[in-house]
Amino acid sequence: MSDASDSVARRTSRNRWFLLTPALVVLTLAASGPLLVVLIYSFLTPGDYGGVVWKPSTDGWFSVILQRDFFTDELTFADAHLSIFWRSIWLSLMTTIITFVIGFPTAYFIATRPANRRDIWMLLIIIPFWTNLLIRTFAVMELIRNEGTVNSMLIALGIIDQPIQMLFTDFAVLVGMAYVFLPLMVLPIYASMERMDFSLVEAGYDLYATRWRVLRNVIMPLVKPGVIAGSILVFVPSLGAYVTPRVLGGGKQLMLGNLIELQFGQGRNWPLGAALSLTLLFIVTVALLFYVRAAGKEEGHHG
């Protein structure tokens, strides 16, 4: 009997890996394999015209945060890189906060609509999410450029004489990222709110809680997993954002993504670019692990 079940198990297993083969081959060729190559490249020497020379070196990793003085050989912190790291993290945090402040009430609004209307409201959030990120960034650009709608309107109303320079500033990048990533905050918060039991809210009011107390001590703890998920979903792509800072920051307000690209273009320092990419990947992984742990703990609490 054990013989028969053994052979069945073997057949199922063979069958399974056979079914998985196409996906795994494609993903290994064009997703995980290349990441390993990046790791190797980060330990090589840059070539004169881009590319690499096959000579091991740790300079790529060194230059992520340090720089060597050309004359004295003294090591100092690479201020330019550090300030870009800092800007990326700061802008991503701000984006997360802004999308939360707008997205949480919106998710709540949708969750409190009659059941048959919620899908339609959600569709209104999902449509922008599935439309081209570049187009949405471009739409923001047209709105805030010097000859754009906002400035034209303010001038026509006589509030200002000269257009306010908004494009190519941190403000523009922030507005753009908040705009394009907003749906990512609303979706998971709504998902956990929809399942929320409103009799608990009612119980809170029966105990003479104010609206604020109910929000703070009843609703918030119940939807916390959604809030954490939304924050991670916004923070992670913000950190790696490339298109939005490029279009709205105009090549001046760099973020990590643009700094990485620079190394493969004018910078001609592929090992540094590779090391920077892996640094970004590392930060993102830490954020994701933090999320997995937080989500796991929540599951433990309620389940």
Partner 1 sequence: MAKPFDIRRQTGFNAIAMACFVLLYLPIILLVIYSFNAGRSVAIWEGFSWRWYISAWQNDQVQSATVRSLILATSAAIFSTACAVPAALATTRQGSFKGYTFVFALINQPLMVPEIVTAVALLIVFAAVKVATGYTGFGYLILAHTAFCIPFAYMPIRARLQGMNLNLEQAGADLYGTPWRVFRHVTLPQLWPGILAGAMLAFVTSLDDVVITEFVKSAGQDTLPTYMLGQMRRVVTPEVNAISSALLAISVVMVMAFFFLSKTRK
Could you say whether residue 143 binds partner 1 (CB under 8 A)?
Answer: yes
Q: For the CB of residue 74, give the shortest distance to partner 1 in the complex, in Å.
A: 30
Burial class (CB in 10 A: 0-12, 13-18, 19+), 282: exposed
Work out which of 7, 13, 58, 217 binds partner 1, going by CB under 8 A. Answer: 13
Could you say whether residue 23 binds partner 1 (CB under 8 A)?
Answer: yes
User: Do strands 66-68 and 52-53 pair parallel, antiparallel, or not at all (unpaired)?
Assistant: unpaired
Work out which of 188, 225, 237, 249 binds partner 1, going by CB under 8 A. Answer: 237
The DSSP output letter for 47 is: P
Work out which of 53, 82, 97, 135 binds partner 1, going by CB under 8 A. Answer: 135
Query: Are 103 and 189 contacting, i.e. CB atoms less than 8 angstroms apart?
Result: yes
The footprint of partner 1 on residues 31-70 (CB under 8 A) is 31-35, 37-38, 41, 51
Work out which of 131, 290, 293, 296 binds partner 1, going by CB under 8 A. Answer: 131
User: x/- string (CB under 8 A) for partner 1, residues 185-224?
Assistant: -x-----------x--xx--x-----x---x---------
The span from the CA of 245 to the CA of 168, in Å, is 8
Could you say whether residue 30 binds partner 1 (CB under 8 A)?
Answer: yes
Helix (H) or strand (E) holding 297: helix 270-302
Helix (H) or strand (E) holding 45: strand 45-46
Q: Hey, what are 38's tokens?
A: 């990046």
The span from the CA of 63 to the CA of 69, in Å, is 11
From the list 55-63, 73-81, 130-138, 223-231, the region that binds partner 1 by CB under 8 A is: 130-138
Q: Hey, what are 85's tokens?
A: 């790291």
The footprint of partner 1 on residues 239-298 (CB under 8 A) is 239-240, 242-243, 246-247, 256-257, 260-261, 264, 270, 273-274, 277-278, 280-281, 284, 288
The span from the CA of 134 to the CA of 59, in Å, is 35
The footprint of partner 1 on residues 59-118 (CB under 8 A) is 101-103, 105-106, 108-110, 112
SS3 77: strand
Q: For the CB of residue 202, give the shortest distance to partner 1 in the complex, in Å.
A: 5
